[in-house]
């Protein structure tokens, strides 16, 4: 191999791809500097890489048991510096949201808001929302799925819209959906027909049933492409790997109840990168976390009966967990959105909580929530037949 020739420090990476037979010069003087933590070492790079905190956290999490005598920080540094950070199949690509983040208290209507109806500028008791990287919203309502582009005044029917029914071109009370880009399709929880459907993302006139015969209330997908579905009737959440039609119970499955091995009317389900399953329980007024392969869950929000104190929820629905472990909950019958920071015994109200109503600072039976890539909060304001956006400040 040719001998390396001197180069300026600013050129040493840019020249490498042009001179494949040459070696990069070592960084000299390294041994004269004190060792610092990985977090301190990468501090100067934060202005260049906005996701760096999360990358460090993931690298350290994946290096809990380092080999070859390395420390956790040394192993994590290798992980951080050598791996390519590709986009995974995560359907929730959440921004870094500070635990102290705040949102405007007056929402802006970004979909619906013209009373209940089935016109393309109307919604009728919308149940859920998915937001892509372009801020395009996909909304379940009116036995259909609407695509509503950012700043648009009306939507476009993407699935259903042919009346309530069980034909392949119909939906019956769809309660959840997400866009699966790996198959260029939408996965829809068709609640009233007790089935999960795959619908072509573009120009699809009908869908195909991929799971059936259970009361599916909400669904999600992990980063390996496995589907998780909450079964409202049986009080359980099942995971379906690719090609599996039977699934395996990953939460609940022991009848309805309030024991930690049970669920009672499970609603939303969220899966983190450790494949821990979070479930909101309507009748237990709590959110529980089931680690992978666990036999019981752990209460991570509320669980002390229905109420409107900061330690309570009332019939919670939509949930999301961000990169720092903060839990966001659509506290349905308290008409508010709450945040539970990791490890805390009480939450804080981030929007709503001003009584049930249709003012810009009020909500009425919020059923779901989501974030765009800037951290703006979107709330499915079900009984007001609208979607509200609360900008991060």
Q: Locate tokens 């909101």: which residue?
A: 280
- Distance CA(124)–CA(382), nearest Å, equals 8
CA 341 to chain centre: 16
pLDDT confidence of 3, banded at 50, 70, 90?
very low
Q: What is the mean pLDDT of the chain?
A: 89
With a cut of 50, say whether residue 146 has pLDDT above it: yes
Element (H, E) at 212: strand 208-212
Q: Locate tokens 């036999």: which residue?
A: 295
Q: What is the pLDDT of residue 93?
A: 67
With a cut of 50, say whether residue 314 has pLDDT above it: yes
With a cut of 90, say whether residue 86 has pLDDT above it: no
Q: What is the pLDDT of residue 307?
A: 98
Largest CA distance in the chain: 74
With a cut of 60, say whether residue 144 has pLDDT above it: yes
Q: Are 303 and 286 in contact (CB under 8 A)?
A: yes
pLDDT digits (tens, 9 = 90+) for 36-52: 888 888 888 777 665 67
pLDDT greater at residue 225 or residue 339: 339
Cβ atoms within 10 Å, residue 20: 6
- Distance CA(351)–CA(390), nearest Å, equals 8
With a cut of 70, say whether residue 374 has pLDDT above it: yes
Mean pLDDT, rounded, for 130-157: 96
For residue 16, give Cα distances in angstroms to 11, 12, 22, 78: 9, 7, 7, 20
- Each domain of the chain, given as residue ranges in start order, spans 1-94, 108-390
According to DSSP, the residues that pair with 339 across neighbouring strands are 328, 348
pLDDT confidence of 25, banded at 50, 70, 90?
low
- Distance CA(336)–CA(22), nearest Å, equals 61
With a cut of 60, say whether residue 240 has pLDDT above it: yes
With a cut of 90, say whether residue 238 has pLDDT above it: yes
Match domain 108-390 to its CATH number in 1.10.3720.10, 3.40.50.620, 2.120.10.30, 1.20.1260.10.
2.120.10.30
pLDDT confidence of 88, banded at 50, 70, 90?
low
With a cut of 70, say whether residue 26 has pLDDT above it: no
Sheet holding 174-180: strands in order across? 174-180, 185-190, 195-200, 208-212
With a cut of 50, say whether residue 184 has pLDDT above it: yes
**Terminal-to-terminal C-alpha distance of the chain:** 55
């Amino acid at each position: 191999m040719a001998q390396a020739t001197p180069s300026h420090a600013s050129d040493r990476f840019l020249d490498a791809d042009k001179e494949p037979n040459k070696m990069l010069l070592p960084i000299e003087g390294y041994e004269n500097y004190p060792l610092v933590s990985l977090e301190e070492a990468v501090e100067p790079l934060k202005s260049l890489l906005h996701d760096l905190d999360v990358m460090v956290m993931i690298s350290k999490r994946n290096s809990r048991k380092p080999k070859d005598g390395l420390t956790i920080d040394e192993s994590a540094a290798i992980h951080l510096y050598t791996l390519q950070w590709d986009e995974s199949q995560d359907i929730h690509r959440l921004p870094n949201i500070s635990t102290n983040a705040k949102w405007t208290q007056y929402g802006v209507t970004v979909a619906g808001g013209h009373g209940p109806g089935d016109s393309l500028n109307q919604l009728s008791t919308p149940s859920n929302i998915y937001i892509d990287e372009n801020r395009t919203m996909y909304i379940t309502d009116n036995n259909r799925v609407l695509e509503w582009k950012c700043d648009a005044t009306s939507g476009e029917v993407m699935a259903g819209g042919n009346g309530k029914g069980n034909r392949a071109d119909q939906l019956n009370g769809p309660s959840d959906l997400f866009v699966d880009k790996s198959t260029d399709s939408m996965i829809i929880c068709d609640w009233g027909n007790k089935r999960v459907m795959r619908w072509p993302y573009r120009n699809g006139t009908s869908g195909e049933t991929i799971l059936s015969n259970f009361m599916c209330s909400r669904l999600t997908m992990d980063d390996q492409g496995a589907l998780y579905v909450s079964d409202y009737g049986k009080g359980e959440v099942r995971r379906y790997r690719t090609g599996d039609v039977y699934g395996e119970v990953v939460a609940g499955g022991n009848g309805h109840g309030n024991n930690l091995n049970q669920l009672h009317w499970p609603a939303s389900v969220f899966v983190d990168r450790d494949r821990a399953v979070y479930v909101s329980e309507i009748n237990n007024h709590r959110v529980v976390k089931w680690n992978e392969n666990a036999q019981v869950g752990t209460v991570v929000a509320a669980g002390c009966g229905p109420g409107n104190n900061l330690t309570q929820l009332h019939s919670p629905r939509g949930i999301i967990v961000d990169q720092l472990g903060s839990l966001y909950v659509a506290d349905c019958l308290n008409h508010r959105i709450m945040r539970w920071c990791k490890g805390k015994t009480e939450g804080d109200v981030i929007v709503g909580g001003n009584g049930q109503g249709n003012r810009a600072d009020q909500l009425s039976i919020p059923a779901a929530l989501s974030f765009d890539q800037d951290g703006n909060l979107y709330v499915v304001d079900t009984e007001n037949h609208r979607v509200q956006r609360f900008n991060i400040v």
